[in-house]
Amino acid sequence: MTAATPTAQAAAAPASGALPTVRQDRLPLLLLPALALVALPLTGSFATWVTLTFAGLAMGMIIFIMASGLTLVFGLMDVLNFGHGVFITLGAFLAVSVLGRMAGWSESDRLLLNLGAVLPAMLVAMAVTGAVGLAFERLVIRPAYGQPLKQIMITMGGMIVGEEIIKGIWGPQAIPLPLPAAFRGSLLMGEAAVEKYRLIAVALGLVVFGVLYWVLARTKVGLLIRAGVQDREMVESLGYRISRLFVGVFAAGSALAGLGGVMWGLYQQTVTPQIGSGVNVLLFTVIIIGGLGSVGGCFTGAMLVGLVANYTGFLAPKVALFSNILLMVIILSWRPQGLYPVVKR
């Protein structure tokens, strides 16, 4: 027997508008404009500063797309997937194949035809990497739940095997991945030249962030993910099967890595079997800076890394070689758990 529904004793519905507001932690976000403002006088020219800032934001957006799945997977199941890079590589090579078959559209000067080539490349990359992610979770990740050392070894092994399979399909050599014709060149904003593709990357990155934010903040699935990141056991005690949620998040994270691979490949304009493993360290740097498990932190961290890499690349190229690690050291000295630490039990 279940308890009877009790009689109402309380007053009317809570008026959320009447409640005092809670101060949000915006300090890490303020780092972004602060960094840009500091760089403005150093670059010596407003036009150069605009170009560098857009380049940094574009790089940050692509990194965010690639890293967002990684941080969610860690947050939800404490799984550090060192094989994440293989999904990036796979996405980039799938773009090579799809765009290669649609070269007529890709090389056309008409934007619509270019989009008609790039969008299928992105969708195919997301679908295939998502499906491969499901298999990877089942074969590689699942046997190593709760065993961090084994996870590191087996996921790195998974990436090596994945890279070799990719070499077997596409070959070991670097393959050019030219931008579609309408994506090439720059737009002039006053005296500043901003590459078109970087604008597209910023726009697409914002769309992905918006969708992720909406899912996490406005849907019950998102609520479960956020709760699962904090306390898996309690989510299960409330009647939800977190393992299914994790499989879904892993597949979605792999699909995002595939999308990121397409964008990163187009950004580099060359694809190699090591394109994913090469960016892996950068992704881990970003999710550590942001706070492991935090999507908002991942976004902020990615933007910071992108801006710092571009500003230092222009101002002090030698510093740019280790600027990301330096940034991580500074951030962790300030906030040892990252910019937006996730409270876990």
Summarize as ranges the residues that interact with other proteins (CB under 8 A).
Answer: 1-11, 13-14, 16, 19, 22, 220, 223-224, 226-227, 230-231, 233-242, 342-343, 345
Nearest to other proteins of 136, 246 (CB atom): 246
* 191/47 Cα distance (integer angstroms): 5
Question: How many residues make up the chain in this entry?
Answer: 345
Q: Which of 214, 207, 218 is nearest to 256 (CA)?
A: 207
Distance separating alpha carbons of residues 226 and 206, to the nearest angstrom: 20
Of 69 and 296, CB closest to other proteins: 296
Q: Is 239 left (phi over 0), alpha (psi -120 to 50) or beta?
A: left
Give the residue with the Cβ less far from other proteins, 15 or 149. Answer: 15
Task: State the Cα torsion 339-282-205-69 to the nearest 10°.
Answer: -80
Q: Which C-beta is closer to other proteins: that of 41 or that of 239?
A: 239
- DSSP assignment of 190-233: TTEEEEHHHHHHHHHHHHHHHHHHHHHHHSHHHHHHHHHHH-HH
Rounded to 5 degrees, what are φ and ψ at 286? -65, -45
* 228, 245 Cβ separation under 8 angstroms: yes
* Shortest CB 245 distance to other proteins, Å: 11
Q: Cβ closer to other proteins: 227 or 315? A: 227
Shortest approach of other proteins to residue 287 CB, angstroms? 17
Beta bridge partners of 189: 192
Burial class of 6 by CB neighbour count within 10 A (0 to 12, 13 to 18, 19+): exposed
> C-beta of 155: minimal distance to other proteins in Å?
26
CB nearer to other proteins: pick between 261 and 291: 291
From the CB of 3, what's the least distance to other proteins, in Å?
A: 4
Tokens of 126: 């997301």
Q: How far is the CB of 231 from other proteins (least distance, A)?
A: 6
Distances (CA, A) of 84 to 12, 78, 96, 274: 50, 14, 19, 12
Cα gap 181→196, rounded to integer Å: 11
CB of 237 to other proteins, least distance (A): 5
**Residue 156 or 223 having the CB closest to other proteins:** 223
Nearest approach, Cβ of residue 65 and other proteins (Å): 23
Q: Specify the residue, 3 or 112, whose C-beta has the smaller distance to other proteins.
A: 3
Q: Which helix (H) or strand (E) holds 166?
A: helix 148-170
DSSP 114-158: HHHHHHHHHHHHHHHHHHHHHHHIIIIIGGGTT-HHHHHHHHHHH
Least distance (Å) between residue 219 CB and other proteins: 8
- CA–CA separation, 132 and 166 (whole Å): 13
Q: Measured from the CB of residue 214, what is the shortest distance to other proteins in angstroms?
A: 14
Question: With respect to other proteins, which residue has the nearer C-beta, 186 or 243?
Answer: 243
